[in-house]
Amino acid sequence: MNFLAHIYLSGDSDELKIGNFVGDYVKGRDYEKYPLQIKNGIILHRNIDSYTDNHPVVKLSKAHFITRYHKFSGVIVDILYDHFLAKDWDRFSDQPLHEFLQDFHQLIIEHSDILPIGVKSILPFFILDNWVDTYLTIEGIEKIFILMSKNTSLPYENNYAVEVLKNNYEALRKEFYEFFPQIIKYVEEKNQIKIRGLH
């Protein structure tokens, strides 16, 4: 799961949203230095990642990209699942996407003092460039692939990834729709979180 899904799967708790948002940037037991609910959000992030990585439907989605991306195919799928969530947001939430994001941007700015350094460094770009809006189009997704391949260990296979996405768009969308209700149910039942929305 990527940024949008992690925030959405936090329910209505501001602290859980913050913890879930920063989860990738808090290593080992460093989460223990945060307030309780933010700590719980970091743990939730890890639980969501573990559930996602081991889910058979997600493995099907990864298989579309495995020949070029290998262990990084999960990163590609995370971004694409956020794309499908953003595209069909009205099916999952009664709050418009732009309002949801504005509320979160304000929340994260108000708590910027406790964010990990890695999150602070990307925050201006995350907000000013409105990364999640970029997920709405295939062209935007390609820009994200290019940016990540320049700044992370993600292989530079952007043309390949976009071609696979275009050729398998409906199959990937179907896999997302099979998987996402299941992770909502998992989060609600296993983590006692009520996720607001229309699911």
DSSP element (H, E) containing 102: helix 97-110
Confidence of residue 152 (pLDDT cuts 50, 70, 90): confident
pLDDT given for residue 125 in this prediction: 73
Average of per-residue pLDDT across 38-54? 95
* Cα–Cα separations (whole angstroms), residue 146 to 10, 154, 190: 29, 9, 36
Radius of gyration of the chain from Cα atoms? Answer: 16
pLDDT in tens, 61-90: 999 999 998 898 999 999 999 999 999 999
Report the mean per-residue pLDDT for the chain. Answer: 89
pLDDT given for residue 197 in this prediction: 66
Let me know: does 195 contact 187? Beta carbons within 8 Å.
yes
pLDDT given for residue 150 in this prediction: 79
> Does the pTM exceed 0.75?
yes
Let me know: does 78 contact 67? Beta carbons within 8 Å.
no
pLDDT in tens, 156-179: 888 899 999 999 999 999 999 999
From the list 12, 83, 26, 44, the residue with the least C-alpha distance to 186 is 44
> Taking the CA of residue 97 as centre, how many other CA atoms within 13 Å lie in the half-sphere pointing to its CB?
20
Tokens for 155? 């292989």
